[in-house]
Amino acid sequence: MNLTNNSPVLIPLLFLSTGIMTPVLAMKKEWLARWIALGASAASVALSIFNLIRVINVGKPIHYKLGNWNPSLGIEYVLDHLSAFVILVINAIAFLVLIYAKKSIESELPGKEVPYYASVLLMLCGFNGMMITGDLFNLYVFLEICSLTLYGLIAVGEKKSSMAAFTYLIMGTIAGCFYLLGVGFLYIKTGSLNMADVRAILPFMLDQPAVVIGLCFMTLGLGIKMALFPLHGWLPDAYTYAPSVSSALIAPTGTKVASYVLIRIFYFVFGITFVSKTLPVADIISWLAVVGIIYGSIMAIAQKELKRMLAYSTVAQVGYIGLGIGLANPFGLIGAVLHILNHAVMKACLFLVSGNFRLKLGHSNIFKLDNTIRKKMPWTMAAFTIAALSMVGLPPMAGFFSKWYLALGTIEKGNWLFLAAILVSTLLNAVYFFRILEKVYMKPIDSQSSNTHEQGTYHDHSVKENEETVKRDEVSPSMLFPTLTLAAALVVLGILNAIIVDGVIKYIIPKGL
Protein backbone atom coordinates (compact mmCIF):
# COMPACT_ATOMS: atom_id res chain seq x y z
CA MET A 1 0.00 0.00 0.00
CA ASN A 2 1.87 2.95 -1.28
CA LEU A 3 -0.04 6.20 -1.03
CA THR A 4 2.09 8.11 -3.49
CA ASN A 5 1.81 5.56 -6.27
CA ASN A 6 -1.87 4.90 -5.76
CA SER A 7 -3.01 8.47 -5.21
CA PRO A 8 -4.84 8.89 -8.57
CA VAL A 9 -7.21 6.01 -7.96
CA LEU A 10 -7.93 6.80 -4.33
CA ILE A 11 -10.40 9.65 -4.85
CA PRO A 12 -13.02 7.81 -6.93
CA LEU A 13 -12.49 4.70 -4.83
CA LEU A 14 -13.00 6.66 -1.63
CA PHE A 15 -16.29 8.13 -2.83
CA LEU A 16 -17.49 4.83 -4.26
CA SER A 17 -16.86 2.88 -1.06
CA THR A 18 -18.27 5.53 1.27
CA GLY A 19 -21.25 6.09 -1.04
CA ILE A 20 -22.15 2.42 -0.91
CA MET A 21 -21.38 2.02 2.78
CA THR A 22 -23.24 5.11 4.01
CA PRO A 23 -26.76 3.58 4.02
CA VAL A 24 -25.42 0.55 5.91
CA LEU A 25 -23.32 2.40 8.47
CA ALA A 26 -25.89 5.12 9.05
CA MET A 27 -28.90 2.82 9.20
CA LYS A 28 -29.27 3.17 12.95
CA LYS A 29 -27.40 6.43 13.47
CA GLU A 30 -28.64 8.92 10.93
CA TRP A 31 -26.33 11.71 12.04
CA LEU A 32 -23.42 9.57 10.91
CA ALA A 33 -24.26 10.05 7.22
CA ARG A 34 -23.33 13.70 7.28
CA TRP A 35 -20.01 13.04 8.99
CA ILE A 36 -19.12 10.26 6.57
CA ALA A 37 -19.85 12.58 3.66
CA LEU A 38 -17.87 15.40 5.21
CA GLY A 39 -14.95 13.13 6.08
CA ALA A 40 -14.79 11.59 2.61
CA SER A 41 -15.05 15.01 1.03
CA ALA A 42 -12.31 16.48 3.23
CA ALA A 43 -10.06 13.52 2.48
CA SER A 44 -10.71 13.97 -1.22
CA VAL A 45 -9.73 17.65 -1.04
CA ALA A 46 -6.49 16.69 0.72
CA LEU A 47 -5.81 14.01 -1.89
CA SER A 48 -6.59 16.42 -4.73
CA ILE A 49 -4.12 18.96 -3.35
CA PHE A 50 -1.56 16.18 -2.96
CA ASN A 51 -2.19 15.04 -6.55
CA LEU A 52 -1.90 18.55 -7.94
CA ILE A 53 1.40 19.17 -6.14
CA ARG A 54 2.66 15.81 -7.32
CA VAL A 55 1.77 16.59 -10.94
CA ILE A 56 3.40 20.02 -10.73
CA ASN A 57 6.55 18.45 -9.29
CA VAL A 58 6.70 15.63 -11.81
CA GLY A 59 5.86 18.02 -14.63
CA LYS A 60 4.34 15.41 -16.93
CA PRO A 61 1.19 13.26 -16.87
CA ILE A 62 1.14 10.47 -14.31
CA HIS A 63 -0.32 7.23 -15.66
CA TYR A 64 -1.87 4.77 -13.27
CA LYS A 65 -2.63 1.28 -14.51
CA LEU A 66 -5.64 -0.20 -12.79
CA GLY A 67 -4.82 -3.71 -11.59
CA ASN A 68 -1.45 -3.36 -13.33
CA TRP A 69 -2.95 -4.23 -16.71
CA ASN A 70 -1.24 -2.44 -19.52
CA PRO A 71 -3.29 0.25 -21.24
CA SER A 72 -5.39 -0.75 -24.25
CA LEU A 73 -6.00 -4.01 -22.38
CA GLY A 74 -6.75 -2.55 -19.00
CA ILE A 75 -8.13 0.76 -17.81
CA GLU A 76 -5.74 3.60 -17.24
CA TYR A 77 -6.16 6.62 -14.99
CA VAL A 78 -4.33 9.72 -16.11
CA LEU A 79 -3.42 12.55 -13.82
CA ASP A 80 -2.16 15.61 -15.66
CA HIS A 81 -2.30 19.32 -14.96
CA LEU A 82 -5.80 19.65 -16.40
CA SER A 83 -7.42 16.77 -14.56
CA ALA A 84 -5.63 17.43 -11.26
CA PHE A 85 -6.67 21.09 -11.39
CA VAL A 86 -10.35 20.51 -12.21
CA ILE A 87 -10.59 17.68 -9.67
CA LEU A 88 -9.33 20.00 -6.96
CA VAL A 89 -11.86 22.67 -7.96
CA ILE A 90 -14.82 20.29 -7.97
CA ASN A 91 -13.89 18.57 -4.70
CA ALA A 92 -13.22 21.83 -2.87
CA ILE A 93 -16.59 23.25 -3.94
CA ALA A 94 -18.35 20.03 -2.96
CA PHE A 95 -16.65 20.08 0.45
CA LEU A 96 -17.77 23.64 1.18
CA VAL A 97 -21.33 22.91 0.07
CA LEU A 98 -21.41 19.79 2.25
CA ILE A 99 -20.39 21.88 5.28
CA TYR A 100 -23.30 24.13 4.40
CA ALA A 101 -25.79 21.31 3.84
CA LYS A 102 -26.90 20.39 7.36
CA LYS A 103 -29.55 22.99 8.22
CA SER A 104 -30.79 23.37 4.68
CA ILE A 105 -31.38 19.64 4.25
CA GLU A 106 -32.99 19.37 7.67
CA SER A 107 -35.52 22.02 6.75
CA GLU A 108 -36.13 21.05 3.11
CA LEU A 109 -35.78 17.26 3.22
CA PRO A 110 -36.52 16.08 6.74
CA GLY A 111 -35.82 12.38 7.24
CA LYS A 112 -34.03 11.90 3.94
CA GLU A 113 -30.49 12.72 5.07
CA VAL A 114 -29.01 9.25 4.73
CA PRO A 115 -30.02 8.49 1.12
CA TYR A 116 -29.27 12.09 0.21
CA TYR A 117 -25.69 12.01 1.43
CA ALA A 118 -25.18 8.57 -0.09
CA SER A 119 -26.31 9.91 -3.48
CA VAL A 120 -24.05 12.94 -3.13
CA LEU A 121 -21.07 10.68 -2.50
CA LEU A 122 -21.89 8.51 -5.51
CA MET A 123 -22.31 11.62 -7.64
CA LEU A 124 -18.87 12.83 -6.59
CA CYS A 125 -17.50 9.37 -7.40
CA GLY A 126 -18.93 9.76 -10.89
CA PHE A 127 -17.52 13.26 -11.34
CA ASN A 128 -14.04 12.34 -10.13
CA GLY A 129 -14.02 9.18 -12.21
CA MET A 130 -15.01 11.11 -15.34
CA MET A 131 -12.20 13.55 -14.78
CA ILE A 132 -9.42 11.15 -13.95
CA THR A 133 -10.06 8.28 -16.33
CA GLY A 134 -8.04 7.83 -19.48
CA ASP A 135 -10.45 5.38 -20.99
CA LEU A 136 -13.34 6.39 -23.24
CA PHE A 137 -15.75 3.68 -22.15
CA ASN A 138 -14.87 4.00 -18.48
CA LEU A 139 -15.81 7.65 -18.85
CA TYR A 140 -19.25 6.61 -20.08
CA VAL A 141 -19.78 4.40 -17.04
CA PHE A 142 -18.83 7.21 -14.66
CA LEU A 143 -20.99 9.61 -16.67
CA GLU A 144 -23.99 7.37 -16.09
CA ILE A 145 -23.17 6.90 -12.39
CA CYS A 146 -23.20 10.63 -11.80
CA SER A 147 -26.23 11.20 -14.07
CA LEU A 148 -28.34 8.64 -12.23
CA THR A 149 -27.59 10.21 -8.87
CA LEU A 150 -28.14 13.69 -10.30
CA TYR A 151 -31.68 12.71 -11.33
CA GLY A 152 -32.34 11.56 -7.79
CA LEU A 153 -30.81 14.64 -6.17
CA ILE A 154 -32.96 16.89 -8.34
CA ALA A 155 -36.17 14.90 -7.95
CA VAL A 156 -36.36 15.27 -4.15
CA GLY A 157 -37.02 19.00 -4.40
CA GLU A 158 -40.30 20.90 -4.54
CA LYS A 159 -43.43 19.70 -6.33
CA LYS A 160 -42.33 20.27 -9.91
CA SER A 161 -38.87 18.81 -9.38
CA SER A 162 -39.86 15.25 -10.31
CA MET A 163 -41.03 16.39 -13.74
CA ALA A 164 -37.85 18.46 -14.18
CA ALA A 165 -35.79 15.41 -13.24
CA PHE A 166 -37.76 13.28 -15.70
CA THR A 167 -37.06 15.68 -18.54
CA TYR A 168 -33.41 15.71 -17.52
CA LEU A 169 -33.40 11.93 -17.46
CA ILE A 170 -34.76 11.70 -21.01
CA MET A 171 -32.27 14.25 -22.32
CA GLY A 172 -29.43 12.88 -20.21
CA THR A 173 -30.02 9.38 -21.53
CA ILE A 174 -29.99 10.67 -25.10
CA ALA A 175 -26.72 12.42 -24.27
CA GLY A 176 -25.18 9.32 -22.73
CA CYS A 177 -26.28 7.14 -25.65
CA PHE A 178 -24.92 9.60 -28.21
CA TYR A 179 -21.60 9.63 -26.41
CA LEU A 180 -21.60 5.82 -26.34
CA LEU A 181 -22.40 5.70 -30.04
CA GLY A 182 -19.52 8.07 -30.77
CA VAL A 183 -17.17 5.87 -28.76
CA GLY A 184 -18.45 2.90 -30.74
CA PHE A 185 -17.54 4.54 -34.05
CA LEU A 186 -14.09 5.43 -32.74
CA TYR A 187 -13.58 1.90 -31.47
CA ILE A 188 -14.52 0.40 -34.84
CA LYS A 189 -11.86 2.48 -36.51
CA THR A 190 -9.06 2.51 -33.98
CA GLY A 191 -9.61 -0.74 -32.11
CA SER A 192 -8.79 0.91 -28.81
CA LEU A 193 -10.65 2.68 -26.04
CA ASN A 194 -7.62 4.21 -24.36
CA MET A 195 -7.49 7.96 -24.99
CA ALA A 196 -3.72 8.07 -25.52
CA ASP A 197 -3.89 5.09 -27.88
CA VAL A 198 -6.74 6.61 -29.84
CA ARG A 199 -4.80 9.86 -30.02
CA ALA A 200 -1.82 8.04 -31.49
CA ILE A 201 -3.85 6.04 -34.03
CA LEU A 202 -6.33 8.70 -35.15
CA PRO A 203 -3.99 10.84 -37.34
CA PHE A 204 -3.84 7.96 -39.83
CA MET A 205 -7.57 7.76 -40.33
CA LEU A 206 -8.92 11.26 -39.96
CA ASP A 207 -10.43 11.17 -43.44
CA GLN A 208 -12.72 8.28 -42.54
CA PRO A 209 -16.42 9.18 -42.28
CA ALA A 210 -16.83 6.99 -39.20
CA VAL A 211 -14.34 9.10 -37.25
CA VAL A 212 -16.16 12.27 -38.23
CA ILE A 213 -19.51 10.81 -37.20
CA GLY A 214 -17.99 9.63 -33.93
CA LEU A 215 -16.74 13.13 -33.19
CA CYS A 216 -20.17 14.61 -34.00
CA PHE A 217 -22.03 12.18 -31.75
CA MET A 218 -19.63 12.68 -28.85
CA THR A 219 -19.81 16.46 -29.17
CA LEU A 220 -23.60 16.33 -29.25
CA GLY A 221 -23.80 14.13 -26.18
CA LEU A 222 -21.38 16.24 -24.19
CA GLY A 223 -23.12 19.40 -25.43
CA ILE A 224 -26.35 18.21 -23.84
CA LYS A 225 -24.55 17.36 -20.62
CA MET A 226 -22.85 20.76 -20.41
CA ALA A 227 -26.04 22.59 -21.45
CA LEU A 228 -24.55 24.28 -24.48
CA PHE A 229 -27.04 26.71 -25.94
CA PRO A 230 -29.62 24.88 -28.06
CA LEU A 231 -29.24 21.77 -25.90
CA HIS A 232 -29.80 23.47 -22.54
CA GLY A 233 -33.54 22.69 -22.28
CA TRP A 234 -33.27 20.54 -19.16
CA LEU A 235 -31.18 22.95 -17.12
CA PRO A 236 -33.43 25.83 -15.95
CA ASP A 237 -36.20 23.63 -14.55
CA ALA A 238 -33.80 21.17 -12.98
CA TYR A 239 -31.78 23.82 -11.15
CA THR A 240 -34.83 25.83 -10.10
CA TYR A 241 -36.88 23.08 -8.52
CA ALA A 242 -34.05 21.06 -6.98
CA PRO A 243 -33.42 21.48 -3.24
CA SER A 244 -31.09 24.38 -2.42
CA VAL A 245 -28.17 22.12 -1.55
CA SER A 246 -28.58 20.10 -4.74
CA SER A 247 -28.59 23.25 -6.84
CA ALA A 248 -25.49 24.52 -5.08
CA LEU A 249 -23.77 21.16 -5.59
CA ILE A 250 -24.80 20.49 -9.16
CA ALA A 251 -24.76 23.92 -10.76
CA PRO A 252 -21.07 24.63 -10.14
CA THR A 253 -19.90 21.07 -10.80
CA GLY A 254 -22.13 19.21 -13.27
CA THR A 255 -21.76 21.41 -16.32
CA LYS A 256 -18.07 22.01 -15.55
CA VAL A 257 -17.24 18.32 -15.58
CA ALA A 258 -18.93 17.94 -18.97
CA SER A 259 -16.98 20.96 -20.25
CA TYR A 260 -13.81 19.35 -18.97
CA VAL A 261 -14.62 16.17 -20.88
CA LEU A 262 -15.24 18.23 -24.01
CA ILE A 263 -11.79 19.83 -23.63
CA ARG A 264 -10.32 16.38 -23.10
CA ILE A 265 -11.99 14.97 -26.22
CA PHE A 266 -11.22 17.95 -28.42
CA TYR A 267 -7.66 18.72 -27.41
CA PHE A 268 -6.33 15.38 -26.21
CA VAL A 269 -8.17 12.73 -28.24
CA PHE A 270 -8.96 14.21 -31.64
CA GLY A 271 -6.35 16.94 -31.61
CA ILE A 272 -7.29 20.53 -32.13
CA THR A 273 -6.13 20.81 -35.75
CA PHE A 274 -8.64 18.17 -36.74
CA VAL A 275 -11.43 19.74 -34.73
CA SER A 276 -10.82 23.32 -35.80
CA LYS A 277 -9.11 23.15 -39.22
CA THR A 278 -10.29 19.98 -40.94
CA LEU A 279 -13.81 20.15 -39.61
CA PRO A 280 -15.49 23.34 -38.37
CA VAL A 281 -16.70 21.69 -35.15
CA ALA A 282 -14.85 24.13 -32.89
CA ASP A 283 -16.23 27.06 -34.88
CA ILE A 284 -19.77 25.75 -34.56
CA ILE A 285 -19.27 25.30 -30.80
CA SER A 286 -18.03 28.87 -30.41
CA TRP A 287 -20.89 30.34 -32.46
CA LEU A 288 -23.48 28.40 -30.47
CA ALA A 289 -21.72 29.46 -27.28
CA VAL A 290 -21.91 33.12 -28.27
CA VAL A 291 -25.62 32.82 -29.01
CA GLY A 292 -25.98 31.04 -25.67
CA ILE A 293 -24.15 33.82 -23.83
CA ILE A 294 -26.54 36.47 -25.12
CA TYR A 295 -29.64 34.27 -24.86
CA GLY A 296 -28.86 33.13 -21.31
CA SER A 297 -28.22 36.68 -20.14
CA ILE A 298 -31.44 38.02 -21.65
CA MET A 299 -33.48 35.15 -20.24
CA ALA A 300 -31.87 35.74 -16.83
CA ILE A 301 -33.10 39.33 -16.89
CA ALA A 302 -36.64 38.11 -17.57
CA GLN A 303 -36.80 35.85 -14.50
CA LYS A 304 -38.42 36.74 -11.20
CA GLU A 305 -37.16 33.76 -9.22
CA LEU A 306 -33.57 34.06 -8.03
CA LYS A 307 -32.69 30.40 -8.57
CA ARG A 308 -34.16 30.42 -12.06
CA MET A 309 -32.22 33.56 -12.87
CA LEU A 310 -29.03 31.87 -11.71
CA ALA A 311 -29.91 28.82 -13.80
CA TYR A 312 -30.19 30.92 -16.96
CA SER A 313 -27.04 32.72 -15.99
CA THR A 314 -25.38 29.28 -15.88
CA VAL A 315 -26.42 28.75 -19.50
CA ALA A 316 -24.68 32.03 -20.33
CA GLN A 317 -21.57 31.20 -18.33
CA VAL A 318 -21.28 27.74 -19.88
CA GLY A 319 -21.31 29.70 -23.11
CA TYR A 320 -18.11 31.44 -22.00
CA ILE A 321 -16.45 28.07 -21.43
CA GLY A 322 -17.74 26.78 -24.75
CA LEU A 323 -16.44 29.90 -26.46
CA GLY A 324 -13.01 29.41 -24.90
CA ILE A 325 -12.93 25.79 -26.07
CA GLY A 326 -14.12 26.72 -29.55
CA LEU A 327 -11.59 29.52 -30.05
CA ALA A 328 -8.87 26.88 -30.27
CA ASN A 329 -6.02 29.17 -29.29
CA PRO A 330 -3.96 29.31 -26.07
CA PHE A 331 -5.74 32.34 -24.62
CA GLY A 332 -9.12 30.78 -25.30
CA LEU A 333 -8.15 27.56 -23.56
CA ILE A 334 -6.66 29.41 -20.58
CA GLY A 335 -9.85 31.47 -20.36
CA ALA A 336 -12.05 28.37 -20.52
CA VAL A 337 -10.14 26.50 -17.81
CA LEU A 338 -9.88 29.57 -15.60
CA HIS A 339 -13.59 30.17 -16.08
CA ILE A 340 -14.32 26.60 -14.99
CA LEU A 341 -12.69 27.53 -11.67
CA ASN A 342 -14.15 31.02 -11.37
CA HIS A 343 -17.65 30.16 -12.43
CA ALA A 344 -17.74 27.16 -10.10
CA VAL A 345 -16.86 29.39 -7.14
CA MET A 346 -19.23 32.20 -8.17
CA LYS A 347 -22.22 29.95 -8.86
CA ALA A 348 -21.70 27.95 -5.68
CA CYS A 349 -21.63 31.19 -3.69
CA LEU A 350 -24.75 32.56 -5.39
CA PHE A 351 -26.72 29.35 -4.98
CA LEU A 352 -25.73 29.20 -1.31
CA VAL A 353 -27.03 32.73 -0.93
CA SER A 354 -30.33 31.74 -2.52
CA GLY A 355 -30.40 28.79 -0.12
CA ASN A 356 -29.92 31.21 2.78
CA PHE A 357 -32.85 33.28 1.52
CA ARG A 358 -35.02 30.19 1.23
CA LEU A 359 -34.21 29.10 4.75
CA LYS A 360 -34.71 32.46 6.46
CA LEU A 361 -37.23 34.27 4.24
CA GLY A 362 -39.01 31.16 2.94
CA HIS A 363 -38.65 32.23 -0.69
CA SER A 364 -36.13 33.50 -3.18
CA ASN A 365 -38.43 35.61 -5.30
CA ILE A 366 -36.58 38.66 -6.59
CA PHE A 367 -39.61 40.93 -6.39
CA LYS A 368 -40.21 40.06 -2.76
CA LEU A 369 -36.63 40.83 -1.76
CA ASP A 370 -36.62 44.22 -0.13
CA ASN A 371 -34.35 46.62 1.65
CA THR A 372 -34.84 45.04 5.08
CA ILE A 373 -32.58 42.18 4.03
CA ARG A 374 -29.49 44.31 4.23
CA LYS A 375 -30.19 44.62 7.92
CA LYS A 376 -31.46 41.10 8.46
CA MET A 377 -28.72 39.22 6.63
CA PRO A 378 -25.78 41.58 6.19
CA TRP A 379 -23.17 38.85 5.66
CA THR A 380 -25.25 36.90 3.18
CA MET A 381 -25.85 40.07 1.21
CA ALA A 382 -22.16 40.94 1.35
CA ALA A 383 -21.32 37.54 -0.14
CA PHE A 384 -24.00 38.03 -2.76
CA THR A 385 -22.59 41.44 -3.67
CA ILE A 386 -19.06 40.14 -4.11
CA ALA A 387 -20.25 37.21 -6.22
CA ALA A 388 -22.48 39.48 -8.30
CA LEU A 389 -19.63 41.90 -8.93
CA SER A 390 -17.46 38.96 -9.92
CA MET A 391 -20.13 37.69 -12.31
CA VAL A 392 -20.26 41.11 -13.91
CA GLY A 393 -16.48 41.09 -14.08
CA LEU A 394 -15.15 43.98 -12.04
CA PRO A 395 -11.34 43.86 -11.98
CA PRO A 396 -10.24 42.73 -8.54
CA MET A 397 -12.69 39.82 -8.59
CA ALA A 398 -11.94 36.49 -10.21
CA GLY A 399 -14.63 36.80 -12.88
CA PHE A 400 -12.80 39.60 -14.61
CA PHE A 401 -9.67 37.62 -15.40
CA SER A 402 -11.26 34.69 -17.17
CA LYS A 403 -13.26 37.10 -19.30
CA TRP A 404 -10.03 38.98 -19.95
CA TYR A 405 -8.32 35.87 -21.29
CA LEU A 406 -11.37 35.03 -23.38
CA ALA A 407 -11.38 38.57 -24.78
CA LEU A 408 -7.67 38.22 -25.61
CA GLY A 409 -8.50 34.92 -27.31
CA THR A 410 -11.17 36.51 -29.49
CA ILE A 411 -8.77 39.33 -30.43
CA GLU A 412 -6.11 36.82 -31.37
CA LYS A 413 -8.68 34.99 -33.45
CA GLY A 414 -9.66 38.33 -34.99
CA ASN A 415 -13.36 37.76 -34.47
CA TRP A 416 -14.73 41.10 -33.28
CA LEU A 417 -18.28 39.86 -33.06
CA PHE A 418 -17.27 37.46 -30.30
CA LEU A 419 -15.53 40.27 -28.46
CA ALA A 420 -18.66 42.40 -28.76
CA ALA A 421 -20.75 39.52 -27.43
CA ILE A 422 -18.51 39.22 -24.34
CA LEU A 423 -18.79 42.94 -23.67
CA VAL A 424 -22.55 43.08 -24.25
CA SER A 425 -23.13 40.10 -21.98
CA THR A 426 -21.10 41.86 -19.28
CA LEU A 427 -23.58 44.72 -19.45
CA LEU A 428 -26.50 42.30 -19.36
CA ASN A 429 -24.96 40.60 -16.31
CA ALA A 430 -24.78 43.99 -14.68
CA VAL A 431 -28.47 44.56 -15.40
CA TYR A 432 -29.69 41.38 -13.79
CA PHE A 433 -27.49 41.56 -10.73
CA PHE A 434 -27.67 45.27 -10.05
CA ARG A 435 -31.46 45.28 -10.06
CA ILE A 436 -31.29 43.09 -6.95
CA LEU A 437 -28.51 45.11 -5.35
CA GLU A 438 -30.48 48.25 -6.07
CA LYS A 439 -33.60 46.88 -4.39
CA VAL A 440 -31.64 45.84 -1.33
CA TYR A 441 -29.11 48.60 -0.82
CA MET A 442 -30.28 51.78 -2.50
CA LYS A 443 -33.64 52.44 -0.85
CA PRO A 444 -33.87 53.74 2.70
CA ILE A 445 -35.69 51.36 5.00
CA ASP A 446 -39.31 52.30 5.59
CA SER A 447 -42.38 50.30 6.42
CA GLN A 448 -46.10 50.68 6.08
CA SER A 449 -46.58 51.89 9.61
CA SER A 450 -44.54 54.98 8.79
CA ASN A 451 -47.07 56.08 6.19
CA THR A 452 -49.15 57.66 8.92
CA HIS A 453 -46.33 59.99 9.89
CA GLU A 454 -46.42 63.59 8.84
CA GLN A 455 -45.01 64.36 5.46
CA GLY A 456 -42.19 66.60 6.66
CA THR A 457 -40.52 64.43 9.23
CA TYR A 458 -41.62 61.20 7.59
CA HIS A 459 -38.42 60.27 5.89
CA ASP A 460 -35.70 60.67 8.48
CA HIS A 461 -37.88 59.51 11.28
CA SER A 462 -38.99 56.30 9.68
CA VAL A 463 -35.48 55.38 8.69
CA LYS A 464 -34.24 55.82 12.20
CA GLU A 465 -37.11 53.88 13.66
CA ASN A 466 -36.86 50.95 11.31
CA GLU A 467 -33.12 50.67 11.31
CA GLU A 468 -33.64 49.75 14.91
CA THR A 469 -36.77 47.62 14.61
CA VAL A 470 -35.50 45.29 11.86
CA LYS A 471 -33.80 42.51 13.75
CA ARG A 472 -30.77 40.73 12.52
CA ASP A 473 -31.80 37.28 11.35
CA GLU A 474 -28.64 35.83 9.87
CA VAL A 475 -28.22 32.12 9.12
CA SER A 476 -26.15 29.91 11.39
CA PRO A 477 -22.33 29.98 11.24
CA SER A 478 -22.14 26.55 9.61
CA MET A 479 -24.01 28.00 6.62
CA LEU A 480 -22.41 31.40 6.72
CA PHE A 481 -18.85 30.07 6.75
CA PRO A 482 -18.98 28.34 3.33
CA THR A 483 -20.83 31.27 1.78
CA LEU A 484 -18.28 33.78 3.00
CA THR A 485 -15.34 31.50 2.22
CA LEU A 486 -16.49 31.26 -1.37
CA ALA A 487 -16.99 35.02 -1.55
CA ALA A 488 -13.54 35.65 -0.11
CA ALA A 489 -12.10 33.05 -2.47
CA LEU A 490 -13.36 35.14 -5.38
CA VAL A 491 -11.20 38.08 -4.32
CA VAL A 492 -8.22 35.86 -3.50
CA LEU A 493 -8.46 33.94 -6.78
CA GLY A 494 -8.73 37.21 -8.63
CA ILE A 495 -5.54 38.49 -7.06
CA LEU A 496 -3.71 35.17 -7.44
CA ASN A 497 -4.86 34.52 -11.00
CA ALA A 498 -1.39 35.09 -12.46
CA ILE A 499 0.04 32.43 -10.16
CA ILE A 500 -2.70 29.96 -11.10
CA VAL A 501 -2.23 30.58 -14.81
CA ASP A 502 1.58 30.43 -14.68
CA GLY A 503 1.77 27.55 -12.24
CA VAL A 504 -0.89 25.20 -13.57
CA ILE A 505 -3.00 26.29 -16.52
CA LYS A 506 -0.05 27.18 -18.75
CA TYR A 507 1.03 23.54 -18.75
CA ILE A 508 -2.40 22.37 -19.86
CA ILE A 509 -2.03 23.83 -23.33
CA PRO A 510 -1.17 20.90 -25.61
CA LYS A 511 1.76 21.09 -28.01
CA GLY A 512 1.06 22.64 -31.38
CA LEU A 513 -1.79 24.86 -30.23
Partner 1 sequence: MTDYIIGHYAYWFTFILMMIGFYGMTMKKNLVKKLIGMNIFQVSIIIFYVSTAVKWGGTVPVLDLNISIADTSKYINPLQHCLMLTAIVVGVATTGVAFALSISIFKRYKTLDEAVLIERMIKDNESDK
Three-state secondary structure of 381-447: HHHHHHHHHHHHCCCCCHHHHHHHHHHHHHHHHCCHHHHHHHHHHHHHHHHHHHHHHHHHHHCCCCC
Binding mask 460-499 for partner 1 (x = CB under 8 A): ----------------------------------------
Distance, CA of 476 to CA of 377 (rounded, Å): 11
Q: Is 153 or 258 the residue whose CB approaches partner 1 more closely?
A: 153
Compute the least distance from the CB of residue 177 to partner 1, in Å: 5
Compute the least distance from the CB of residue 161 to partner 1, in Å: 9
Site for partner 1 in 172-211 (CB under 8 A): 173-174, 176-177, 180-181, 184, 187-188
Compute the least distance from the CB of residue 154 to partner 1, in Å: 9
Compute the least distance from the CB of residue 257 to partner 1, in Å: 18
Binding mask 20-59 for partner 1 (x = CB under 8 A): ----------------------------------------
Q: Is 72 or 278 the residue whose CB approaches partner 1 more closely?
A: 72
Q: Is 35 or 69 the residue whose CB approaches partner 1 more closely?
A: 69
Q: Is 185 or 404 the residue whose CB approaches partner 1 more closely?
A: 185
Q: Is 172 or 324 the residue whose CB approaches partner 1 more closely?
A: 172
The CA-based angle 384-343-427, given to 5 degrees, is 70
Phi, psi of 227 (to 5 degrees): 60, 45
Q: Is 140 or 266 the residue whose CB approaches partner 1 more closely?
A: 140
Compute the least distance from the CB of residue 208 to partner 1, in Å: 14
Binding mask 121-160 for partner 1 (x = CB under 8 A): ----------------x--xx--x---x--xx--x---xx
Q: Which residues contact 20 (CB under 8 A, 6 or more apart)?
A: 118, 122
Q: Which amino acid is at 462?
A: S
Q: Is 241 or 404 the residue whose CB approaches partner 1 more closely?
A: 241
Residue 394 burial class via C-beta count within 10 angstroms: exposed 0-12, middle 13-18, buried 19 and up: middle
Q: Is 73 or 420 the residue whose CB approaches partner 1 more closely?
A: 73
Compute the least distance from the CB of residue 145 to partner 1, in Å: 9
Distance, CA of 147 to CA of 50 (rounded, Å): 28
Distance, CA of 105 to CA of 131 (rounded, Å): 28
- DSSP conformation letters of 292-352: HHHHHHHHHHT--BHHHHHHHHHHHHHHHHHHHHHH-SHHHHHHHHHHHHHHHHHHHHHHH
Beta strands in 112-188 (DSSP E): none
Phi, psi of 77 (to 5 degrees): -105, 135
Q: Is 162 or 450 the residue whose CB approaches partner 1 more closely?
A: 162
3-state helix, strand, coil in the chain (%, to 5): 80, 5, 15
- C-alpha distances out from residue 22 to 32, 35, 46, 176, Å: 8, 10, 21, 27
- The span from the first CA to the last CA of the chain, in angstroms, equals 39
Q: Which of 11, 26, 146, 165 binds partner 1 (CB under 8 A)?
A: 165
Compute the least distance from the CB of residue 127 to partner 1, in Å: 17
- Neighbour count for residue 264 (Cβ, 10 Å): 23
Q: Which residues of 216-246 are buried (b: 16+ CB within 10 A; e: fewer)?
A: bbbbbbbbbbbbbbebbebbbbbbbbbbbbb
Q: Is 136 or 300 the residue whose CB approaches partner 1 more closely?
A: 136
Compute the least distance from the CB of residue 163 to partner 1, in Å: 6
Q: Which of 20, 58, 170, 492 binds partner 1 (CB under 8 A)?
A: 170
Q: Is 198 or 338 the residue whose CB approaches partner 1 more closely?
A: 198
| Interaction between residue 450 and partner 1 (CB under 8 A) | no
Binding mask 324-363 for partner 1 (x = CB under 8 A): ----------------------------------------
Compute the least distance from the CB of residue 142 to partner 1, in Å: 11
Distance, CA of 195 to CA of 28 (rounded, Å): 44
The residues of the shown chain that bind partner 1, judged by CB under 8 A, are 137, 140-141, 144, 148, 151-152, 155, 159-160, 162-163, 165-166, 169-170, 173-174, 176-177, 180-181, 184, 187-188
